[in-house]
């Protein structure tokens, strides 16, 4: 059948369709897109996963505010960052005190006039079977792993809204997805982190702020070093890549999810577990 369009017209319409199918330009990013000066708070940055995240974000040009209780260990992290040409500062804080952490977020934002990235990574375990788990162990884990995360997100989001750009990265755990015998408190807190993060993603998505969870599997840090070798060997049998992860495996995920490249990724739970829970 004869086409109703001339060849020229067909070409023009074809290219209009192709234009429509092109990915949208990224949303405007707000005031200052100079990533060199982005300020990132990383909790639990004195060692393990948090330290690796702090080093990586600094290497990517962020100014890192390293938070944990141990001022001496934080000073070493800051020294390592500055020796490598990065920019960082240490702020000692006990995250069991959520109000103190919220105040720290306020102080950092007002000192720098901005807050772009918040990585709630600090976490603790107080494992035990539910029949023997004390109220205190339940509350302590909820307080450090979930309540401080909430307080930090609430405080940070005000400043991110002002900057019209923000990345909230909450470190959860595969235990928060699947549960884990002996970790009722920890799994409840990490599941709470997922619900909290998805809610923030819904509330702030239209404002240039994303919120995501990274859910590690077994990662070699002080937290897992104490596991008996037999438990580690058994776990590795269920990990398709046949090894524990490294803190750098999580830092790489964090670098991506806190970058401009991840502006269309929000409310996501990024499982980094070598395939263990697929």
- Which positions touch ligand NAI (CB under 6 A)? 44, 46-50, 68-70, 93-96, 121-124, 144, 171, 173, 216, 218-219, 221-224
**CB of 261: closest distance to ligand NAI in angstroms?**
23
Give CA–CA dist 198/267, Å, rounded: 4
C-beta closer to ligand NAI: residue 114 or 118: 118
Query: Catalytic site residue 264?
Result: no
C-beta closer to ligand NAI: residue 87 or 224: 224
Among 5, 186, 256, 264, the one annotated catalytic = 186
C-beta closer to ligand NAI: residue 32 or 248: 248
Provide φ and ψ at 204, rounded to 5°: -115, 0
Contact between 102 and 155 under an 8 Å Cβ cutoff? The reply is yes
**CB of 144: closest distance to ligand NAI in angstroms?**
5
**CB of 96: closest distance to ligand NAI in angstroms?**
5
**CB of 183: closest distance to ligand NAI in angstroms?**
10
**CB of 227: closest distance to ligand NAI in angstroms?**
9
Three-class HEC string of the chain: CCCCCCHHHHHHHHHHHHHHHCCCCCCCCCCCCCHHHCEEEEECCCCHHHHHHHHHHHHCCCEEEEEECCHHHHHHHHHHHHHCCCEEEEEECCCCCHHHHHHHHHHHHHHHCCCCEEEECCCCCCCECHHHCCHHHHHHHHHHHHHHHHHHHHHHHHHHHHHCCEEEEEECCCHHHHCCCCEHHHHHHHHHHHHHHHHHHHHHHHHCEEEEEEEECCECCHHHHCCCHHHHHHHHHCCCCCCCECHHHHHHHHHHHCCHHHCCCCCCEEEECCCCCC
C-beta closer to ligand NAI: residue 81 or 93: 93
C-beta closer to ligand NAI: residue 73 or 161: 73
Q: Give the active site residues.
A: 186
């Amino acid at each position: 059948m004869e086409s109703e369009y001339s060849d020229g017209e067909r070409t023009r319409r074809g290219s209009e369709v192709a234009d429509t199918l092109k990915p949208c330009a990224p949303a405007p990013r707000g005031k200052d897109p100079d990533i060199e000066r982005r300020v990132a708070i990383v909790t639990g940055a004195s060692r393990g996963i948090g330290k690796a995240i702090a080093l990586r974000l600094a290497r990517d040009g962020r100014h890192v505010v390293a938070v944990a209780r141990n001022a001496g260990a934080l000073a070493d992290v800051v020294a390592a960052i500055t020796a490598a040409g990065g920019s960082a500062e240490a702020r000692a804080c006990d995250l069991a005190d959520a109000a103190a952490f919220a105040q720290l977020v306020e102080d950092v934002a007002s000192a720098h006039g901005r807050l772009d990235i918040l990585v709630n990574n600090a976490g603790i375990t107080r494992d035990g079977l539910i029949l023997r788990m004390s109220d205190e162990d339940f509350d302590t884990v909820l307080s450090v792993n979930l309540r401080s995360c909430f307080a930090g997100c609430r405080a940070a989001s005000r400043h991110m809204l002002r900057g019209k750009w923000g990345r909230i990265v909450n470190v959860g755990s595969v235990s928060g997805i699947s549960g884990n015998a002996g970790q009722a408190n920890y799994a409840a807190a990490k599941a709470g982190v997922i619900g909290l993060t998805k809610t923030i993603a819904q509330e702030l998505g239209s404002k240039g702020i994303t919120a995501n969870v990274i859910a590690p599997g077994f990662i070699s840090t002080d937290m897992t070093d104490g596991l008996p070798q037999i438990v580690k060997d058994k776990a590795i049998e269920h990990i398709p890549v046949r090894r524990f992860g490294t803190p750098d495996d999580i830092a790489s995920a964090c670098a991506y999810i806190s970058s401009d490249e991840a502006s269309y990724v929000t409310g996501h739970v990024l499982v980094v577990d070598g395939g263990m829970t697929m």
